[in-house]
Amino acid sequence: MQIARVKGEVSGTRGARLPMEGPFLNAKEEKQRLIVIKREGTGTEMPMIGDRVFVHYTGWLLDGTKFDSSLDRKDKFSFDLGKGEVIKAWDIAVATMKVGEVCRITCKPDYAYGLAGSPPKIPSNATLVFEVELFEFKGEDLTEEEDGGIIRRIRTRGEGYAKPNEGAIVPVALEGYYQDQIFDQRELHFEIGEGESLDLPCGLEKAIQHMEKGEHSIVHLKPSYAFGSVGKEKFQIPPNADLKYEIQLKSFEKAKESWEMNSEEKLEQSTIVKERGTVYFKEGKYKQALLQYKKIVSWLEYESSFSDEEAQKARALRLASHLNLAMCHLKLQAFTAAIESCNKALELESNNEKGLFRRGEAHLAVNDFDLARADFQKVLQLYPSNKAAKAQLAVCHQRIRKQLAREKKLYANMFERLAEEENKAKAAIAAGDRHTDAEMKDEPKDVAGSQPQVETEA
């Protein structure tokens, strides 16, 4: 329904009925809501669905009784627009306002508190009048850290409440902007989690996972959620660039969640995903490969309904996934995560050659030489022909010798400094003693060597 907006001052005093001004929304029915602009706002931007808006307001009944005011509390009121957090009239009216605008909103009961009212201040079927001033609005922050890295503003609301999950198939239309210049314009059909292979920023995929079918949104990305410190040469995007995307999610097909699959489906999907992860790994797309192997772990790790034969297959898939995760983490230099993945693999198979070797590599990368040496020694003890472990063990010994030499030099220097400081301290004490002796020699003494006697009167 279109909203009526008229300019002009609305007068009214406490106890007097406030006039219902402006044209009817429909000639055949009584007007449901009305905005009278008391002061124009600035700019052209208006809040969008999901924006956080900050306002001051005062509310009256039609007889002029004031029932609430944020001004009295001296604290601005904020809410998420279009999410049903306030009465319907507010969601509709504030969406038409600009920053700095002051308006008066008349709300019929159906767009206020209806038959129930809001006791004790607002009776049943009450028409309400609000004066509202809009101070600011900002888009919805989609990041877990709430660091402002992914800001969404909804142009057109989508249908329903379902949203795409990891692995969902999504057809989208998108336009990418850098400094208001379009650099990417495409229609794509892809799986969530594979966007990087299509030159899509990770932040855009995260935003898509918050969208509803048919939704049209504007997404603002900070560099860490866009193309980062590298940029994107293909699009001539420099390092550390802020980006904006307009994106429409035409529809989506959700991937099955773990609880929606039976044991046979989990094993079948895990095998498919493992092969896909291997393809990504060979192409050097380690982040995409990580996502595939993580799916397998999430599907199989806590499944208890497998038959003996299925459990054996699941164990083999889990072991391979943890080992492959470790390799991906090593490539991405996430050494702590690599160690954790190796530990998971070694819980399944304590003498696994790859698990021990890759954990040794991770320990070596963070200079835990003793732990690395222990892992490589165990590999050679179990698998004497492993030349790579032999080479890495030699590296460990070399690094340990260098570390010992550095420590020896460090301690030698430290002891030299301590000895030097001690000698200085002794010299200072000795100099002080000599000074004291000299002072005592200069003092006058009597014949017996005692202090001079004071002359007294006879």
Please give the pLDDT value at position 248.
98
Backbone angles phi, psi at 80, to 5 degrees: -90, 115
**453 pLDDT above the threshold of 70:** no
175, 221, 236, 273, 286 from 227: Cα distances, Å: 16, 9, 11, 26, 16
Q: For 177-192, what is each residue's pLDDT tens digit?
A: 999 999 999 999 999 9
Of the residues 49, 57, 91, 150, only one is catalytic, namely: 57
Q: List, in order, residues 6 or more apart from 241 with CB less than 8 Å away.
A: 178, 223, 226, 227, 231
Instruction: Please state, rounded to an integer, the average pLDDT across all residues of the chain.
Output: 86
What CATH code is assigned to 32-138? 3.10.50.40
Q: Does residue 367 carry a pLDDT above 70?
A: yes
Q: Average pLDDT of 141-150?
A: 93
Of residues 203 and 414, which shows the higher confidence score?
203
Amino acid at residue number 440: M
What residue ranges of the chain are covered by domains with CATH 1.25.40.10?
Answer: 263-396
Using a 10 angstrom Cβ sphere, with 0-12 exposed, 13-18 middle and 19 or more buried, the burial of residue 202 is middle
105 catalytic? Reply is: no
Mean pLDDT of 266-284: 93
Q: Which residue in 130, 227, 252, 376 is the catalytic one? A: 130
**Listed range (182-191, 298-307, 403-412) with the worst mean pLDDT:** 403-412
Q: Is the pLDDT confidence value at 203 over 80?
A: yes
pLDDT of residue 173: 97
279 pLDDT tier (thresholds 50, 70, 90):
very high
CA distance readout (Å), 132 to 22, 180, 277: 18, 33, 55
Q: Has 113 been annotated as catalytic? A: yes
* Annotation marks residue 57 as catalytic: yes
Active-site residue identified among 67, 79, 183, 235? 67
Tokens 């989690």 belong to residue = 193
Report CA 348 to chain centroid distance, whole Å: 33
Looking at mean pLDDT, say which of 157-166, 238-247, 389-398 comes out highest.
Answer: 238-247
User: 254, 256, 215: which is closest to 49 by C-alpha?
Assistant: 215
pLDDT of residue 369: 92
Catalytic residue among 54, 68, 80, 199: 68
| Catalytic residue flag (residue 68) | yes
Range 343-377 burial, b when 16+ CB lie within 10 A, else e: ebbbeebeebebbbbbbbbbbbeeebbebbbbbbe
Lowest mean pLDDT among 28-37, 136-145, 162-171, 264-273: 28-37
Residue 175: closest CA among 244, 226, 83, 81: 244
What residue spans in the chain does CATH classification 3.10.50.40 cover? 32-138, 150-249
Give 456 or 305, the one with higher predicted confidence.
305
Pairing of strands 4-7, 33-39: parallel
The second-level CATH assignment, the architecture, of 263-396 is: Alpha Horseshoe (1.25)
Question: What class does CATH assign to 150-249?
Answer: alpha beta
Backbone angles phi, psi at 241, to 5 degrees: -100, 135
355, 346 Cβ separation under 8 angstroms:
yes
Contacts of 103 (CB under 8 A, 6+ apart): 5, 35, 36, 37, 38, 39, 93, 97, 131, 132
The pLDDT, as a whole number, for residue 35 is 85
Q: Using alpha carbons, select from 295, 255, 150 the residue that is nearest to residue 208.
A: 150
